Amino acid sequence: MDHITFLVAVVIVTALAFDFTNGFHDTANAMATSIATGALKPRTAVLISGALNIGGAFLSTEVAKTISGGIVDDTLVTPGMIFAGLVGAILWNLLTWLLGLPSSSSHTLFGGLVGAVWVGAGSHGVHVDKVVEKILIPAVASPVVAGIAALLATYLAYRITARGRKDSVTKGFRLGQIASASLVSLAHGTNDAQKTMGVITLTLISAGALGHDAGPPVWVIASAGLAIGLGTYIGGWRIIRTMGRGLTDIQSPQGFAAEAAATTVILTSAHLGFALSTTQVCSGGILGAGLGRRLAEVRWGTAGRMALAWLVTLPAAGLVGGLSATVVKHGGNLGTALIAVVAAALFIVLASRRNPVRADNVNETHEVTVRTTGPAPVRTAA
């Protein structure tokens, strides 16, 4: 532990802060459809999801190894670069959360890290082939696979239960949703908590506290799992509303199909070490479930805004990470402290949102009240 300097400690704390934002940003991945269909009450849903995210963190470390020794050259990385990358990831996560856009927390982390290392160590510090193989290809393929699987599962679910009583079918699938949503939460903890584990492990390697190609220590696994679990329990209600009500009209058979498809894709990819976006997978599953039910309305405008956010996430987070790395590189410890203050201030500003979306109104319409100084409220989009 002699290698744990002040800067390394700051990087580890910042990584866990990102992990926390990842939790509340991605709560919707597991629980949005269950909340939308009434299978689970909002507070119960986020409690279950948080607990299972913690448990999922202990199931695998393959994705963590991909990050700590795959996409960047760990011999060239410094704690300052990693810190700069985390700043880019946190800022983009908070901005998309404020807008209610289910962008990829995973890609914000990858983009921020790649941008910071590119600036700090040069282009040879980034393993572009691994970025393409482990990140970009899964980013394109995973939502398509989940969407097709959910479409077919939804179609079959309605065909098989066509002669059943509607209330019995709904009740049965709601019970099934509790199980399938729980599995998504477990899978999310397995996939996403590992990304923070990988970042912390990379930091320890760069500081000389761990050997090259080392896996995450137990305390790293536990702390990453706890951070993402706590973030999940806070509940990212804005994004839950978008995914549960904004993409399509979800019924319980669709919710079950979307969650089952997403779980299969996420767990398979985590086992293979592919650091995919659980947000994209779950969104693809929800869209596929919408297309699989006859006469279901799919809101393509919302889907288009989400797709645009996905496209710009990697380069946007990379740009912020690169700018942060420039400040750290030329400003030393003062630059590091300055970035930390700016990041914390922005977090506070974004957290003090004027248009609250909470557990008690997450299933309401897409309009929320903005409180103004005048006598009458103004209606605006969530």
Per residue in 28-39, pLDDT tens? 777 888 888 888
pTM of the shown model: 0.79
Helix (H, G, I), strand (E, B) or coil at 44: helix
Burial (Cβ within 10 Å: 0-12, 13-18, ≥19) of residue 299? middle
Taking the C-alpha atoms of residue 129 and residue 253, their distance in angstroms, rounded to an integer, is: 40
Q: Which of 239, 341, 348, 244 is nearest to 290 (CA)?
A: 244
Residue 320's pLDDT band (boundaries 50, 70, 90)? Answer: confident
Q: Could you tell me the two tokens for 337?
A: 């402290």
Taking the C-alpha atoms of residue 220 and residue 201, their distance in angstroms, rounded to an integer, is: 8
Q: What is the pLDDT of residue 38?
A: 83
Q: Count CA within 13 A, CB hemisphere, residue 378.
A: 9
Would you say residue 48 has pLDDT above 80? yes
Highest averaged pLDDT of the listed ranges 40-49, 243-252, 357-366: 40-49
Average the pLDDT over 49-75 and give the result. Answer: 80
Helix (H, G, I), strand (E, B) or coil at 72: strand
Q: What is the pLDDT of residue 378?
A: 43
More confident residue, 258 or 374: 258
Would you say residue 359 has pLDDT above 80? no
Per residue in 237-257, pLDDT tens? 777 777 766 777 778 888 899
Q: Kindly state the greatest CA–CA separation across the chain.
A: 70
Q: Which of 254, 250, 75 is nearest to 151 (CA)?
A: 254
Would you say residue 226 has pLDDT above 90? yes
Q: Which of 46-55, 88-97, 187-196, 316-325 has the lowest mean pLDDT?
A: 88-97
Q: Give residues with Cβ within 8 angstroms of 185, minimum separation 6.
A: 30, 31, 48, 49, 50, 52, 53, 56, 232
Taking the C-alpha atoms of residue 124 and residue 13, their distance in angstroms, rounded to an integer, is: 28
Per residue in 175-194, pLDDT tens? 998 898 888 888 888 888 88
Residue 23's pLDDT band (boundaries 50, 70, 90)? Answer: confident
Residue 364's pLDDT band (boundaries 50, 70, 90)? Answer: low
Residue 108's pLDDT band (boundaries 50, 70, 90)? Answer: confident
